[in-house]
Structure 1
Amino acid sequence: MTRLPRLTPASLTDDQRELYDAIAGGPRAGGPFPLTDAEGALTGPFNAMLFAPPAGQALQRLGAAVRYETALGDRVRELAILAVAAHWDCAFERYAHEPAARAVGVTDAQLAAGTLPDDLSAVEAAALRFVDALLEGDVDDVTYAETVPTIGNRVAVELTTLVGYYATLALQLRVFRVTVPVEQP
């Protein structure tokens, strides 16, 4: 049971409506899962953002940037998101991003392998080693020296930001008990 009431479009304040429109009408609208339920309430982490519109606006802008405005390859981005989901045991992030990963060529075998599948390109493997280190709490000097020359400084910064963003979402999803939508037959 979710801890926050579902906010429908008719119940929103002006600030909430502006945020709702930015989420529902932005680049996420074409994503792999429905952003709204049958009543128009936002799904996943997005409903929680409506309860604090200034923070929600900043968070949704950051999320849009790490999803749609980075130098990260699509496969690296989705594998990194799924590594965060696995680390935080976040069912909603897996629900939302496994279809996106498959759509960019991540195989079921790679998904099942965990955070560092065997059959990745050199860039993908380096990026995911960097992500694994971030998820353990820090990137030591050896890992940094072994990965950053392959992925570059920009990708290192973007991966660090992506891991922080999706860790924030995973925490909110857990605290507010947001569950994966039940599929309708």
Structure 2
Amino acid sequence: MTNTTPRFPHLPVEALSPAQKVVYDKLVNGPRKGIRGPFGALLRNPQLADRVSQLGDSVRFESSLPDTLREMMILMVARFFKARYEWHAHGMILKGLGFADEKIAAIGHRQRPQGLTEDETIVFDFVTELLNDGEITDPTFDKAMARFGEVTVLDILATAGYFGFVSMILNAIRLQVPEGGMIMPED
């Protein structure tokens, strides 16, 4: 990609329609505490923005997944889709959770990090197969089901799917990593 000009400029709050303002207020006053990621662009379609935020809130803030596992998965999905903004945003969150820099770097180089916990290994293998093969082998699926159960396995699938969706939007709208942000390794 040679052109990095963002495709959707910032919408000033005073220029929002009444429907956009309702969604804006929900985003700013909800668990996201602001307009980040795809939502600056999605606000142009307030009904879509609202629905996407509802699904995202469920996946991100109401999930049965522990924070570290969820954020590791999001980073894997961001790397798969080469979503630089997503890499930055969730890499910073994962780092803040105490996930080692070396592990983040390995994910950035599309490698399994050394020193993963058993749960991290199960999730890493599950998501790697899902992303790379478009499916999950029976042994990997069965291991995840035995460890986490149906609800959490569904949360893993929903998280990977949702953040794949978000990553594609972020790439298409060319949302930029803030200056000094976490940079994803190049292929």
TM above 0.5 = yes
Percent identity for Structure 1 against Structure 2: 31
Q: Which moved more, 1:174-183 or 1:120-129?
A: 174-183
Aligned length: 173
**Pick aligned residue for 1:66 from 55, 59, 70:** 59
Runs (5+) with no aligned partner, structure 1:
30-34, 36-41
Q: C-alpha deviations, 1:42-73, integer Å up to 9, x for none?
A: 44311111011111111111111111111101
Query: The residue matched to 2:93 in structure 1 has which SS?
Result: helix
Match runs of 1:12-161 below 5 Å: 12-29=16-33, 35=34, 42-114=35-107, 116-136=112-132, 137-161=134-158
The structure with higher relative contact order (CA 8 Å, sep 6+) is: 2
Moved over 3 A (4+): none
RMSD (Å) for aligned C-alpha atoms: 1.7
The answer for unaligned runs of 5 or more in structure 2 is: 181-187
1:2 and 2:6 equivalent?
yes
Partner of 2:184: none
Q: What TM-score comes out, normalization by structure 1 length?
A: 0.87
CA distance in 2, matches of 1:112, 1:156: 26
Structure 2 residue aligned with 1:32: none
Q: What one-letter code is carried by the residue in structure 2 that aligns with 1:149? A: A
Cα distance in 2, alignment partners of residues 81 and 179 from structure 1:
18
